[in-house]
């Protein structure tokens, strides 16, 4: 299972476990962030070095958020705050929501409920702080994709979040999310919303590029 696929499947835990024509994907490069680059290349050692040298909470959370799907090392999920920190940014809250989602996969049945509730609360707080923050859109879109409908899941809403994510990345090239990552999730959401023509067209554009290993794996083995 790829790290992107694992991230998607674990995003289901925060909630449990009419057709709009999609716009053309934005494939223009943004200024790369080192965590983004190392994640796409599956360079665990480089990410660990970044974590060791991180001098801000935001940077530490980002490194842990990228490392866990690559390693499934539960140490990266230790010491997470149970409540939203009062001075946290939307990005930090979204990253914490994602980490609590990962934590749910390590927990007992009762622990899953607790971790899922904390993840949901953090994501709500992140959305209230900045609903267009790229990490808020990414984590929320994944959660909407993999949550059951009875728990608020919606493939259509997820697709809209990923389309908004592409727009947000145009304005925030320092977001530490690659435009290609947003395009991959858009492709997946197009498949899930039964838009095969649009999904196939985007898939062809993506596979024609020289993608890093993690992204190639996602296209070959998307979440089931």
Would residue 194 be called left, alpha or beta, if left means φ above 0 and alpha means ψ between -120 and 50 degrees? left
In sequence order, which ranges of 41-89 are alpha helices (DSSP H)?
A: 44-53, 57-71
Residue 196: CB atoms within 10 A of its CB come to 11
**pTM for the structure as a whole:** 0.85
C-alpha closest to that of 190 among 148, 151, 158: 158
The pLDDT averaged over each successive group of 10 residues in the chain (224 residues) is 60 40 38 83 97 95 96 94 90 95 70 80 95 96 84 92 95 91 97 97 97 97 86
Number of domains in the chain: 1
What residue numbers bound the domain in which 111 lies? Answer: 3-220
Rounded CA separation 222/58 (Å): 29
Instruction: Write down the pLDDT at residue 8.
Output: 57
Sorted by sequence, the CB contacts under 8 Å of residue 185 that are 6+ apart come out as 138, 141, 142, 162, 165
Digit-coded pLDDT (tens) for 138-160: 999 988 888 778 878 899 999 99
Instruction: Write down the pLDDT at residue 119.
Output: 87
- Can you spell out the DSSP letters for 91-160? HHHHHHHHHHHHHHHTS-HHHHHHHHHHHHHHHHHHHHH-TT-HHHHHHHHHHHHHS-GGGT--HHHHHH
Residue 180: CB atoms within 10 A of its CB come to 20
Tokens 């727009």 — which residue?
A: 167
Instruction: Write down the pLDDT at residue 115.
Output: 82
- CB burial of 63-97 (b: ≥16 within 10 Å; e: otherwise) equals bbbbbbbbebeeebbeebeeebeeebbbbbbbbbb
CATH assignment at residue 116:
1.25.40
């Amino acid at each position: 299972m790829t790290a992107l696929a694992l991230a998607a499947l674990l995003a289901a835990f925060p909630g449990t476990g009419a057709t709009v024509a999609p716009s053309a994907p934005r494939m223009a490069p943004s200024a790369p962030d080192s965590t983004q680059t190392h994640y796409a290349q599956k360079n665990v050692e480089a990410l660990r070095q970044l974590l060791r040298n991180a001098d801000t909470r935001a940077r530490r959370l980002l490194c842990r958020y990228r490392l866990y799907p690559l390693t499934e090392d539960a140490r990266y999920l230790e010491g997470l705050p149970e409540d939203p920190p009062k001075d946290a940014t939307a990005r930090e809250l979204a990253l914490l929501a994602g980490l609590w989602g990962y934590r749910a996969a390590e927990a007992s049945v009762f622990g899953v409920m607790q971790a899922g509730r904390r993840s949901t609360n953090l994501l709500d707080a992140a959305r209230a702080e900045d609903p267009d923050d790229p990490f808020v859109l990414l984590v929320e879109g994944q959660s909407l994709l993999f949550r059951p409908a009875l728990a608020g899941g919606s493939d259509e809403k997820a697709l809209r979040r990923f389309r908004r994510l592409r727009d947000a990345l145009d304005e925030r090239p320092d977001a530490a999310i690659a435009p290609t990552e947003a395009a991959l999730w858009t492709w997946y959401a197009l498949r899930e919303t039964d838009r095969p023509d649009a999904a196939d067209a985007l898939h062809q554009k993506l596979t024609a590029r020289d993608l890093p290993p993690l992204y190639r794996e996602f296209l070959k083995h998307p979440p089931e």
